[in-house]
Amino acid sequence: MLKLKKYSFKSASMKKLHLTAFVFLFMITGIMAQEKFGKGNITQIGLVVNDIEKASEKWAAILGFSEKPQIIITDEYEKANTQYEGQPTDARAKLAFFRLENLTIELIEPIGKNSTWYEHLEKHGEGFHHIAFSVTGMEKNISFLKDKGGKLVQEGDFTGGSYSYVNMPEVGVLIELLTSQ
């Protein structure tokens, strides 16, 4: 009987120890498996250009594409709900997508003036505009970037999804968030 009691006591201690070890391991695993932003993938590099026809031709030659991609135009305000600096804007853009093996190069020619595309092109000339991450849940990802000094500069919809541009002045990069419906 004494022996049995002793055994039970030991067993309870071991259970506690096991539970502590389990919780500890769970925490460590949680830290190790920290979720990567956009699942650790950059899906697009966005470039602003003066003339999308000419730029497409030059990029096709550099990248080794035998054909230029189709040029599309972003939707009008009624459909895209484009907001720039918190205000509705009629600005649009011509877009061309070079789909590479591991990500897409997006060329952007601004139409109209009230957009990050036009502002960036005016200020910096042709070249890098943003890197894009595909995310799940727009608002929580905007908040995540705002917590790191980000400022939402533009947002809108397109057939099948939405986008937001968040400027990250502390690292000098504009991040685009993409969600699909």
Residues in contact with a second copy by the rule CB under 8 A:
31-32, 34-37, 39-42, 45, 47, 49, 55, 58-59, 61-66, 100-103, 105, 124-128, 131, 145, 148-149, 168, 170-173, 175
| Least separation in angstroms between CB 170 and a second copy | 6
Closest CB to a second copy among residues 86, 172: 172
Which among 49, 69, 37, 18 has a CA at the least distance from the CA of 150?
37
- Strand stretches in 53-168, DSSP E: 72-73, 83-84, 87-88, 92-99, 104-111, 127-134, 151-158, 161-168
- Closest approach, Cβ 102 to a second copy, in A, equals 4
Q: Would you say 80 or 145 has its CB closer to a second copy?
A: 145
Query: Cα 130 to the chain's mean position, in Å?
Result: 9
Pick between residue 80 and residue 166 the one whose CB is nearest to a second copy.
166
Contacts of residue 31, Cβ cutoff 8 Å, sequence gap at least 6: none
CB of 77 to a second copy, least distance (A): 29
Instruction: Compute the distance between CA of residue 74 and CA of residue 82 in angstroms, rounded to an integer.
Output: 10
Give me the least distance between CB of 109 and a second copy, in Å please. Answer: 13
